[in-house]
Amino acid sequence: MDHVIGGKFKLGRKIGSGSFGELYLGVNVQSGEEVAVKLESVKTKHPQLHYESKLYMLLQGGTGIPHLKWFGVEGDYNVMVIDLLGPSLEDLFNYCNRKFSLKTVLMLADQLLNRVEYMHSRGFLHRDIKPDNFLMGLGRKANQVYIIDYGLAKKYRDLQTHKHIPYRY
């Protein structure tokens, strides 16, 4: 594919898909940096990418929160560009024959709890906690856990009043 997103991200090969749409490898044509490009059809019944991009912006600066590089509409797709990350905890667990050492479990658990706690401190519940939604970083950040996929996240607390928002069915 020779599509350029947002005037500066070249779309590469497909690296994943799910209920949300499709995930592609991308490259910043100016810097050569590799990125992840998430595509969602504008015709989808339950669009969530715009909402998810707003959460990325709101959570920016937190440890283990991928950096949102661009969001917009390109042709028939809502498009979000974020940091390219490494394997998910699910991938890692399978790679390790579904066994982690105690040291690894403790290192991961500490980071997982910190990521969830950070989201809660910003007034949001993730609501889709699973190994596939925690990714390891790359390069110098290979030991850092990132939390992704905020499409189902919900505000649970007003940040001004700190009052709990009533649950709606």
Catalytic residue among 76, 83, 91, 128: 128
**Token pair of 67 as six digits:** 């950096």
132 a catalytic residue: no
Does 14 carry a binding-site annotation? no
N-term to C-term CA, the chain? 43
Q: What is the DSSP string of 93-123?
A: HHHTTT---HHHHHHHHHHHHHHHHHHHHTT
Q: Please list, in sequence order, all residues whose beta carbon lies within 8 angstroms of the beta carbon of residue 75, skipping any fewer than 6 positions away.
A: none
* Binding residue positions for ATP: 38
Show binding-site residues.
38
Catalytic positions are 128
